[in-house]
Amino acid sequence: MRKSLYETDEAIMEGIRNDDDRALAHLYKLHFPMISHFIISNSGTDDEAKDIYQEGVIVFYEKIKGNSLELSCQIKTYLYSVCRRLWLKRLAEKGRYANRIEDSENYLSLEEDVPQHEENERQFGVMAEALDQLGEPCRSLLEDFYIRAQGMQDIVEKFGYTNTDTAKNQKYKCLQRLKKLFFTSYKPEV
């Protein structure tokens, strides 16, 4: 990997838009020490640092993918701000209030981005739970079809159904159950 390829923020963002994993890796490695230092010097652990940082990168990544990011600062500042906010929230959940945060960077308040991310997280949490409760083979069936976008024919062979109709019927039943599980615990905020 040539480093000079992603020297500017623009290059990194362009790379992420074009699904370039190297750009993402570069970005990830570039800013991790900063966040890890921040978390650790504000009473966090290595694992928590990794967690928060990944969440921050995900917020950034999805913003770029959704083309909804209007970056008025450096990526570094943005990531720092997001992670800072996430970490403060995490601390509050743990019942510990950091009365003095040791900052090494400037940060933005980010009124909108983080709450939206939290809403998404909640949805994913519910989805993960619903899929867990669904059990096999329903889970794999739905994941294969909807997430990995495999063809019906492949699924028939993989799961040993007699024909596609049986598979479709099975899929229908599974989806029916998933819907029920999902909507019992998830009420989208209107």
Partner 1 sequence: MFDHRIYEQIERYLAGTLPAEEKAAFEALLLSDPRLADQVQEHRQVLQAMQHYGQRQQLRHKLNSIHTEMETGSRAITSELTAWKVFFKKHAQTMAVAASVSLLSVFGTLWSVQQMKKPVQQQTARYIELRREVEKIKKEQRAIINGIASADTPAPAPRSARFSGTGFAISPDGYIVTSSHVIQGADSILIENKAGLKYKVTEVHRNTDYDLTILKVEDPSFAGFGKLPYTFKTASSDLGERVYTLGFPREDIVFGEGSLSSASGFEGDTTSYQISIPLNPGNSGGPLLDDKGNVIGVINGKQAGQEGAAFAVKSSYLLQMVTEMKERENGLTVSLPQQNNLSGTSRTQQLKKLQDYIFVVKVYN
Site residues (CB under 8 A) for partner 1? 21, 24-25, 28-29, 32-34, 37-38, 41, 50, 54, 57-58, 61, 102-105, 120, 123-124, 126-128, 131, 142-143, 146-148, 168-169, 171-172, 175, 178-179, 182-183, 186, 188
Tell me how far CA of residue 24 lies from CA of 30, 77, 106, 173, in angstroms. 10, 17, 23, 38
Of 155, 9, 167, which Cα lies nearest the Cα of 78?
Answer: 9
Place of tokens 């099975």: 170
CB nearer to partner 1: pick between 62 and 95 = 62
Query: Of the two residues 50 and 90, which places its CB atom closer to partner 1 in the complex?
Result: 50
CB of 102 to partner 1, least distance (A): 5
CB of 148 vs partner 1, minimal distance in Å? 7
CB within 8 Å of 53: residues ≥ 6 apart? 31, 32, 35, 36, 39, 79, 83
CB of 169 to partner 1, least distance (A): 5
CA distance 45 to 5: 32
Name the minimum Å distance from CB 54 to partner 1: 5
- The residue (of 105 and 118) whose beta carbon lies closer to partner 1 is 105
Closest among 119, 112, 124, 128 to 190, alpha carbons compared: 119
